[in-house]
Amino acid sequence: MEIPKHIFKGYDIRGLVPDEINEGNIYPIAQAILHFFQSKLKRKALRLVVGHDMRTSAPRLYPLLKQGLIDGGAHIMDVGLVSTPTCYYAVLDLKADGGIQLTASHNPPAYNGIKMVMRDGETITKIGKSTGILDIRASALDAVALSEPGGQEERVEGIIEREIDYAFSHVDPSRFKPFTVVADPANAMAITYLEPLFKRLPGKLIKMNFELDGSFPAHQPDPLVFENLRDLRARVVAEKADFGLAPDGDGDRMFFIDEKGQIVTGAQSTALVARELLRATPGSTILFDIRYTMTPQAIIEENGGTSVVTKVGHAYITEELNTRHGIYGGESSEHNFFQWTGGAESQLIMVLLVMKIMSDSGKTLSALVEEIRRSFESGEHNFQTDHAAEILEALKSKYGDGRLSELDGVAIAYPDWRFNVRTSNTEPLMRLNLEATGEALMQDRLHELQALLLAHGAKPHGD
């Protein structure tokens, strides 16, 4: 039984099956997770929610994951085949001590993994590099073994309907217009909540790739790779739909497509929802990540809110949202976080809020986006380099007259444009994001930054 050290990532556990995660090591990994929870909470008898996604390795791995927890004395509440946000919701709804979801998110079919959370009252703490995953890794590599009496399994039914009921309690759909919506969940987990959601809403749901299939026969379930959205964008236009939905593999991200087939960026949807929430709760705090800040920051401040810029990473934003008592946080990759769900993601609530905004305003999604647009975004450009530190210093030197932030990499802002360059946690990559008040200015500055990176030996990667 070998457990590779590198499967313990910044926000979760993730690896190839069977080379890195398999039937021989999933049990001791589960025991290491339980040992961490028991040590943190200072008691042995814990109540834990467990769930899994549709990956083809789940039927082999999931029973062994559960057994490792039961043998360690845990009372597990099995919610079965659910999205990651549904697992998070169940932790709060069932007042569990924590939750464990067997998933590899948007990764290709050969992967599987584990996301973990703990409950602190009405908030969620995600287990990542800064909150305990290194302790779990140490216990797993040390082959910690637990054997405690009292472990048991309970099957929980109906959790998705309860999650929808809860979302309706915060966003009343009774006055929604009957929209036509095209959704492409890429044969992945958002199917489990989108289908029952739209059965309870007026209008029409046009379904693409709605059969759960862990081999992802249509395309990879990663909406941040915009090539994966091509068919959905065309279908929205062809069907004369009001908008489209593009969730990721485990259902904790959701991109919107407007009625013209254009992609609504994460910063734009954040600003749109921020404006709506601030009308109901003036003066509230709203968070967004450092990649694109011009649109959300302007909209939040124009509407009397307090804006907070965060590092990139969904675990960081959940932590910051709870620490700062924010009501909402949006990330450029379309994670959307709500105080209502303990600081965790809820794409159910996000979809309902966008539908409410459209219904109340009577405007198309493209018109609403143009109302709140304060910048044009470059999209993320990746570069391979072994000279990251040298490049970051060169950027600070060349653009020394701009406003500098080193919250996450290097971000430098001017009145009419800004950029962020940061390094990957897992690969020798630099990620460039740039925005400006005009599209031509954005393109000019993007070419300028790209030339600087290339001059320092960086090579384009995957653009």
Q: Quick one: pLDDT at residue 264?
A: 98
Quote the mean pLDDT of the chain: 97
* Residue 99 bridge partners (DSSP): 49, 117
Q: At what angle do helices 191-199 and 347-361 cross, to 10 degrees?
A: 40
Q: At 278, is the secondary structure helix, strand, or coil? A: helix
Supply φ then ψ for residue 262, to 5 degrees: -90, 145
> Which amino acid does the sequence have at 32?
A
Handedness of CA 410, 274, 265, 193 (dihedral sign): positive
At 424, the pLDDT band (50, 70, 90 cuts) reads: confident
Q: Quick one: pLDDT at residue 463?
A: 57
- pLDDT for 250-269, tens place per residue? 999 999 999 999 999 999 99
At 426, the pLDDT band (50, 70, 90 cuts) reads: low
**What number is the average pLDDT over the span 223-236?**
97
> Which amino acid does the sequence have at 299?
I
- pLDDT for 337-373, tens place per residue? 999 999 999 999 999 999 999 999 999 999 999 999 9
Let me know the angle formed at the C-alpha of 320 by 430 and 290, rounded to the nearest 5 degrees.
Answer: 30
Q: What is the DSSP string of 403-443?
A: EEE-SSSEEEEETTEEEEEEE-SSSSEEEEEEEESSHHHHH
* Among candidate residues 342, 422, 285, the one with its CA nearest the CA of residue 85: 342
Two structure tokens written together for 357: 């905004």
Domains located in the chain, CATH noted: 5-157 (3.40.120.10), 179-262 (3.40.120.10), 266-372 (3.40.120.10), 376-460 (3.30.310.50)
**What number is the average pLDDT over the span 309-332?**
96
* Residue 206 bridge partners (DSSP): 182
Let me know the angle formed at the C-alpha of 399 by 393 and 402, rounded to the nearest 5 degrees.
Answer: 120
| Residue owning tokens 């007042």 | 95
**What number is the average pLDDT over the span 284-299?**
98
Q: Quick one: pLDDT at residue 319?
A: 96
Residue 105 is among the residues annotated as catalytic for this protein: yes
Burial of 406 (0-12, 13-18, 19+ CB in 10 A): exposed
3-state secondary structure 366-414: HHHHHHHCCCEECCCEEEECCCHHHHHHHHHHHCCCCEEECCCCEEEEE
Q: Quick one: pLDDT at residue 462?
A: 77
Two structure tokens written together for 28: 């001791």
Identify the active-site residue in 57, 83, 105, 378.
Answer: 105
Q: Using CA atoms, how far apart are residues 320 and 436, in angstroms rounded to an integer?
A: 27
Q: How many CA atoms lie within 13 A of 176 on its CB side?
A: 22
Handedness of CA 194, 199, 202, 207 (dihedral sign): positive
Q: Using CA atoms, how far apart are residues 179 and 61, in angstroms rounded to an integer?
A: 40
* Residue 47 bridge partners (DSSP): 75
Q: Is a pLDDT exceeding 90 seen at residue 428?
A: no
- pLDDT for 230-249, tens place per residue? 999 999 999 999 999 999 99
Q: Quick one: pLDDT at residue 136?
A: 98
Q: Is a pLDDT exceeding 60 seen at residue 210?
A: yes
